[in-house]
Amino acid sequence: MDRRSFLRNLGMLAGAGSASMALGNIPLRAFSRSFLNIQAVNGKVVVLLQLSGGNDGLNTIIPMEDSLYYNARPSLGIKKEDAIQLNYLTGMHPSLQPLKGLYDDGMVAVVQNVGYESPNRSHFRSTDIWLSASDSNVVIDDGWVGRYLAKVLPDHNPINPEHPLAIQIGSTQSSLLECTCQGTMGISFESPNQFYQLINGSTADNDPPPNTIAGNQLKYIKEVAALSIRYAEIIKEKADLVENIATYPNTRLGRQLAIVAELIAGGLETPVYLTSNGGFDTHANQAGNHANLLSGVAQAIEAFQTDLRLLGIADKVVLMTFSEFGRRVIQNGSGGTDHGTAAPLFVIGRNVYGGVYGTNPDLSDLDNNGDLKYKYDFRQLYATLLTQQLGMPLNRMSDVLQKDFETLPLISENAGTLNGPTAFQLEQNYPNPFNPSTTISYFLRIPQAVKLEVFSTAGDIVTTLVNEYQDVGNYNVQFDGSKYSSGVYFARLDSGAYRKTIKMILVK
Amino acid sequence: MKSGNNFNKISVWDEDAARHILARTLFGYTKQDIEFALSHTLDNFVDNYMLADQPEPSQPGYWVNDPTNENNTERTRELMYWWYNLMLTQGYSLRERMVLFWHNHYVSEVSKVRLAQRMYWQNKLFRDYAMGNIIDLTKAVTIDPAMLIYLDGTRNRKGTPNENYARELLELFTLGIGNYTEQDIQEGARALTGWRVDGITPYFTDSRFDEGTKTFLGQTGEFNHNDVVDIIFTQPAAATYFCRELYREFMHVAIDEPSIETMAQILRENNYELKPVLSTLLKSVMFHTDEVRGAKIKNPIELLIGSMRQFNVESPDYVYMRKVAAQIKQELFAPPNVSGWDGDKVWINTTTLPARNVFTDAVVNGKKPNGSNLTFQIDLVEYARTFSSSEDAVQLIDDISKIFLQFPLSENRREYLLNTLLDGAEVYDWSTSDPLAEDRLKLFFIALMRLSEYQLS
């Protein structure tokens, strides 16, 4: 049953004023939670966070054991002792501290080296490439989200025409939400209240414009006018149903994400939101500026995730950051960095398998411009969000992204049911008790550096069974106890950020 | 008939042609402006009014020579109001339109440039060269203090180049993507080294200049900043690039490459002097063809200043206008990024369109949406009486529409406006002496300026 028929069954849609939005004497707000479960779409939401200007990936996710990094960035490099350790090889900028708790809870995936073939170092062209999901040498005028919403979504999810398909918080509108087939698929506004007030008093105008250049311009303006009128009311209604519980930083991004949380919790069935944070074009004096930018972003995301949890909607939402490019490996003479290529990005949510995906960038293997080579095509991330979060069938991928891309195992309902580390699983050894040897099995969901050690009850290391970077997969490791005496031993799997221990009993 | 690439001069210089040329070159126009234009020949009007050199306006304040950052927010606002006023009072000159064009081409943002006075001097540069020589302008911009700071030229020094300006010079300012290599950016940056800014003055330091040999756009030598600009303008792509922007500015967004190539040819033949190509364009059959009329979405400044000129408002509420300009996304001296305002459809979205409507409502009501008064009130009855048709409702709507709209009114829209004006009365009952006339005119103007057609130029 969709929400409309639910309301209809209650008689709420019948009369004027919908019984003043109340069931009996109980204000609608009290029911907002139950409405959350009655959505027409699969109820999942993607929140995109655009970091405009080109975020410096190498100073966001730090290759803290790589001397080439420190050689290239004598003054800008983030020292190992300052970095927040994610695993043995990889750290995070200290300003991202607010994300550490989420990372430890297994909610943050860091995907390394995301980019594309033949990178373009122009802000505008590279932004267009990211928004349109085109190849570097192909110009596409609309956005991947717009194409998905127009061409694919209606086939696998019933659309509620009363709710906008996409929302951009802000007063510009991105080509991300455009589809050349239908025009703009989304709306933009600074805040639900302001939007509602602006629209007050507008009337739609249905005169068909002529098919001329001017007529097409007029048609566009009329469409925008009609869209605004159509959605202003429902957005205000949904925003008014719920209040944020977490405290957000008083920044543009903080306010944007607070609005997104309210609208989702209020039951707006919009599957895609676009938020943004500018200023990442750090050509000069980067150190302090970049630290401030990252800490602003991290604080806002942390508040958003807390809010989603408290509002009971954490399992609906996945947030992904992106930026048009990373920056040059070598710092420039102005204490900054120039335009570069591939960079890491974050995918964050309760249903995300947390961890670091991919190795640190290989600074000994740069392109002939001295820039990083990409490992993951950015469209693999789009494919992952579309299929794993929004439920798009795999066979529709090329309708949105022009061709097929391999997805990453990033998002699943199952991830949300796990507590703590999701990057690996360590099984109980078999047999147990054992004599003289036993098998320890573990599964790596993402490639990562792992250490498998056996400890005595006194806490001494008995032996190190594994200490290397390993790929995704199942691993079975033998522990031979013939040299050791009977007793209790502990096997600990440690990826630097995550650890898990099992107890083993050797009985001779 | 296809009129693309037809640069012959139009044969008929009539009211429609005058309305179109005024709409595209000024910020709004009045009935008297149309009459003035038509009292001259097309050649005379374009060459001796639109494109004529203008006297230098007086400075916004003594502070433009102060190198300190005192009162920067105030000064930036003063500068905006000063420029708004020049746009409103410039008569028939194309100059301020071109200054805005250059501001959106050689972009700087006051937030990074930090001093309003640097933005003033850059603005003056754009005014000095508004319809002048593009090569000279580009050389001047290259060592303009605001630009040196905005694109990190002051940090670009021998041994540790900063590519920011070199990249945008090639990508956004002169040639466009595809007409240079990453190598050209790096070598160009070396040739641009050595410049710094002291307060509001640029200066050159030998020891910071990379005097070595550079290979730039296929030429090799010990180039400096002037050489870089000269070499850029030996590339045919430069003229094409500028003419594509001029085409977008004056024609519409439906790019026609052959027409642009013809314009580029004129620009090259005249050694990048702007007046010949502008003069040819503004008189051409291509510019005056029906399909160009009403085909541009007004930028916010056109909307704001234009509405003032249309109503003959002499002392607008510039403070309110600045606030609205920010809402509808064209704050002067604060373009969104180095590529400037995208323009066209990007101006119009579900936030900015309603905000434009709220602004025109406020102009007509004399009240902001919060109920407080504007600094001026328009006497709508008096305004209506400036038209000889003021007592004929049907004719009055047509005459006023010719000032406010470029897009022809459909029968439906005309009827809707008439019904709004009459507000239930019969057409023969219409009179500006009726006690309700003012209220009716209010409703009418609100409806007129809320038409989607009003957003087109």
- Give the CATH number, domain containing residue A260: 3.40.720
pLDDT at A421: 54
Mutate to test the interface with B, among A224, A236, A339 (most CBs of B within 10 A): A224
In a domain, A105, yes or no: yes
Q: Residue A435 sits in a domain of what CATH number?
A: 2.60.40.1930
- Residue A11 backbone zone (phi > 0: left; psi -120 to 50: alpha; other: beta): left
- Cα A254 to Cα A297: distance, rounded to the nearest angstrom: 8
Average pLDDT over residues B200-209: 97
Q: Residue A496 — very low, low, confident or very high, per pLDDT cuts 50/70/90? A: low
Q: What is the pLDDT of residues A201-225, one digit of tens each?
A: 667 677 788 889 999 999 999 988 8
As a whole number, mean pLDDT of residues A446-472 equals 88
Name which of A3-17, A381-395, B252-266, B376-390 the model is least confident about. Answer: A3-17
Residue window 69-98, chain B: list those with CB within 8 Å of chain A. Answer: none
Query: Taking 60 as the threshold, does the pLDDT of residue A41 lie above it?
Result: no
Q: Give the Cβ contact number of residue A154 at 10 Å.
A: 11
Residue-level pLDDT at B2: 65
Does A451 lie in the same domain as A428? Answer: yes
pLDDT-above-70 percentage for chain A = 89
Whether residue A262 sits in one domain with residue A284:
yes
CA distance B349 to chain A (A): 6
Round to whole Å and give the CA distance between B60 and B167.
Answer: 33
By the CB < 8 Å criterion, does B293 face chain A? yes
Cβ pair A283:B164 closer than 8 A: yes
Q: Pick A225's closest partner by Cβ from B297, B327, B452.
A: B452
Do residues A410 and A485 share a domain?
A: no
**Is the ipTM reported for this complex over the cut 0.85?**
yes
- Residue A262 located in a structural domain: yes
Is the pLDDT confidence value at B325 over 70? Answer: yes
Strand pairing class (A355-357; A108-115)? parallel
Domain-embedded: residue A305? yes
B31 or A427, higher pLDDT: B31
Residue A445 has pLDDT above 80, yes or no: no
Residue whose entry in the numeric block shows the structure tokens 């050489």: B227
User: Which range of residues forms the domain containing residue A76?
Assistant: 39-194+228-375+390-417
Assess whether A89 and A146 both reside in one domain.
yes
Provide the pLDDT confidence category of residue A195 given band limits of 50, 70 and 90: confident
Which residue shows structure tokens 């950052």?
B69
Instruction: Tell me: do A412 and A456 sit in the same domain.
Output: no
- B207 near A CB under 8 A: no
Q: Is A2's pLDDT higher than 70?
A: no
Same domain, A279 and A322: yes
**Other CB atoms within 10 Å distance of the CB of residue B58:** 7
For residue B295, count other CB atoms closer than 10 A to its CB: 23
**How far does B114 lie from chain A, in Å, by closest CA?**
15
Mean pLDDT over A325-335 rounds to 95
With an 8 Å Cβ cutoff, is B159 touching chain A? yes
* A331-340, A343-352, B257-266, B408-417: range with lowest mean pLDDT: B408-417
- Three-class secondary structure of residue A403 per DSSP: coil
Q: What are phi and psi of A499, to 5 degrees?
A: -140, 145
CB-based contact, B335 to chain A, within 8 Å: no
Contacts from A154-158 at CB under 8 Å and sequence distance 24+? A155/A396, A156/A391, A156/A392, A156/A393, A156/A396, A157/A40, A157/A41, A157/A42, A157/A271, A157/A391, A158/A2, A158/A40, A158/A41
Which residues in chain B are closer than 8 Å to A336, comparing Cβ atoms? 152, 155, 162
HSE, side-chain direction, 13 A CA sphere, residue B221? 11
Q: What is the percent of chain B where pLDDT is above 90?
A: 93
Shortest alpha-carbon distance between residue B53 and chain A (Å): 32
How far is the C-alpha of B346 from the C-alpha of A128, rounded, in Å?
Answer: 14
How confident is the model at residue A143, as a pLDDT?
96
pTM: predicted TM-score of the whole model, two decimal places: 0.77
Q: How far is B27 from chain A (nearest CA, A)?
A: 19
Please tell me which of the candidates B295, B337, B349 has its beta carbon nearest to residue A217: B295
Q: Which residues contact A496 (CB under 8 A, 6 or more apart)?
A: A85, A86, A87, A88, A89, A90, A449
Cα distance from A167 to chain B (closest Cα, Å)? 10
Mean predicted lDDT score pLDDT of chain A: 86
**Domain count across chain A:** 2
Provide the CB-side half-sphere exposure for B414 (13 A, CA). 15
CA-based nearest residue in chain B for residue A231: B350
Mean pLDDT of B73-100: 97
Q: CA of A184, closest CA in chain B: separation in Å?
A: 9
Q: Do B327 and A171 touch (CB under 8 A)?
A: yes
A359 or A38, greater pLDDT: A359
Examine the domain organization and report whether A411 and A501 are in the same domain: no
Nearest CB to A172 within list B329, B369, B456: B329
DSSP B246-290: HHHHHT-SS--HHHHHHHHHHHHHTTTBHHHHHHHHHHBHHHHSG
Contacts of B412 in chain A (CB under 8 A): 207
Q: List the single residue in B with minimal CA-CA distance to A280.
A: B337
Residue among B101, B346, B369 at smallest CA distance from A220:
B346
Mean pLDDT of A244-271: 95
Q: Is the pLDDT of residue A40 over 80?
A: no
- Residue A52 CA from chain centroid, whole number: 16
Find the CB nearest B452 among A171, A187, A205. A205
Quick check: A33 pLDDT over 80? no
Helix, strand or coil, per DSSP, at residue A499: strand
Helix (H) or strand (E) holding B229: helix B225-232
Q: Answer with the residue of higher pLDDT: A414 or B27.
A: B27
What is the rounded average pLDDT of the residues A2-12? 31
Statement: residue A342 has pLDDT above 50: yes
Nearest CA to B92 out of B128, B152, B52 is that of B52
Q: Which two tokens stand for residue A12?
A: 């709420």
To the nearest whole angstrom, how far is the Cα of B353 from the nearest Cα of chain A?
A: 7
Do A296 and A247 belong to one domain?
A: yes
Residue B391 structure tokens: 């007592």
Q: Give the pLDDT score at B351.
A: 85
Write out pLDDT tens, residues A417-434.
Answer: 654 556 777 888 999 999
Whether residue A218 and residue B352 make contact (CB cut-off 8 A), yes or no, is: no
Q: Give residue A26's pLDDT.
A: 32
Contacts of B171 in chain A (CB under 8 A): 122, 124
Distance spanning both ends of chain B, measured CA to CA: 22
Q: Are residues A370 and A487 in the same domain?
A: no
What torsion, rounded to 10 degrees, do the Cα atoms B146, B148, B149, B152 define? 150
Tell me the average pLDDT across A398-412: 91
Q: What is residue A469's predicted lDDT score, i.e. its pLDDT?
A: 86
CA B225, CA B188: separation in Å to the nearest integer? Answer: 8
Contact A102, A348 (CB under 8 A): yes
| Same-domain check for residues A175 and A290 | yes
Q: Is the pLDDT of residue B102 over 80?
A: yes
Specify whether A47 is located in the same domain as A148.
Answer: yes
- The answer to whether the Cβ–Cβ distance between A212 and B296 falls below 8 Å is no
User: Do A468 and A399 fall within a single domain?
Assistant: no
Residues of B in contact with A121 (CB under 8 A): 167, 182
Does the pLDDT of residue A263 top 90, yes or no? yes
> DSSP letter at A186?
E
CA closest to B171 among chain A residues: A122
